[in-house]
Chains A and B, each alone.
Chain A
Amino acid sequence: QSVLTQPPSASGTPGQRVTISCSGSSSNIGSNTVNWYQQLPGTAPKLLIFRNNQRPSGVPDRFSGSKSGTSASLAISGLQSEDEAAYYCAAWDDSLNGRVVFGGGTKLTVL
């Protein structure tokens, strides 16, 4: 059972906008920044969003992040077939002497 809660699946058609939610608590999302990863099958994760809404260089602006209270969201606009992947949220958690916590992951299917 993951500390951060994500829906296990999401879907959309090409060109559509989809959002993936990530719910946490006061010890993680509520007091620290949220990061998002994309993982294509058989590959290492790739950082998509850090510090809630910042994109590393090279990440298209179709990907955006937001945070409110103890929840966060990843939005993907202009959905493309290559966006089909697993997406994970992550944050620092202040409990238990400090740790990184991940969401369980959301498998995005492009229909």
Chain B
Amino acid sequence: EVQLVESGGGLVQPGGSLRLSCAASGFTFSSYEMNWVRQAPGKGLEWVSYISSSGSTIYYADSVKGRFTISRDNAKNSLYLQMNSLRAEDTAVYYCARPVPGIIAGMDVWGQGTTVTVSS
């Protein structure tokens, strides 16, 4: 079964850091691009970051550029999101999602999400 499982969410103070992980199974992880997408409470979907299958190409949303770092370890079938200088507006459910090959905005596999709360 194709599956993505996020972990690492929690409560953090403003200015703090958190590292999210996404464990992939059931498919050849090293062959697929990946995205992080978030959803603030009661709000819509917001794309956060993209990484190519090899990790050589990376994109970020302006709202997180310079504060978040996406990475992957293909040997461990894992995707990561290092989040620094967290702000209240980063509070959201964070999903890792796998795009259909060649269609970065068309994500056919999603994790269940992990909740990040930034509050003092």
Contact = CB atoms under 8 A, between A and B. Distances in A.
Interface of A: 2, 32-33, 35, 37, 39, 44-47, 50-51, 56, 86, 88, 90-92, 96-105
Interface of B: 35, 37, 44-47, 50, 59, 61-62, 95, 97, 100, 103-108, 110-113
Contacts, number: 70
B50 A100 contact: yes
B82 to A, nearest CB: 19
Contact of A50 (B37, B44, B46, B108): B108
Given A32-B105, A100-B47, 16 more contacts: A2-B44, A35-B106, A37-B45, A44-B95, A44-B111, A44-B112, A45-B45, A45-B107, A45-B110, A50-B103, A50-B108, A90-B45, A90-B106, A99-B59, A100-B50, A102-B46
B54 to A, nearest CB: 17
A92 B108 CA distance: 15
A96 B50 CA distance: 14
Contacts of A100: 35, 37, 47, 50, 104-105
A46 B47 CA distance: 15
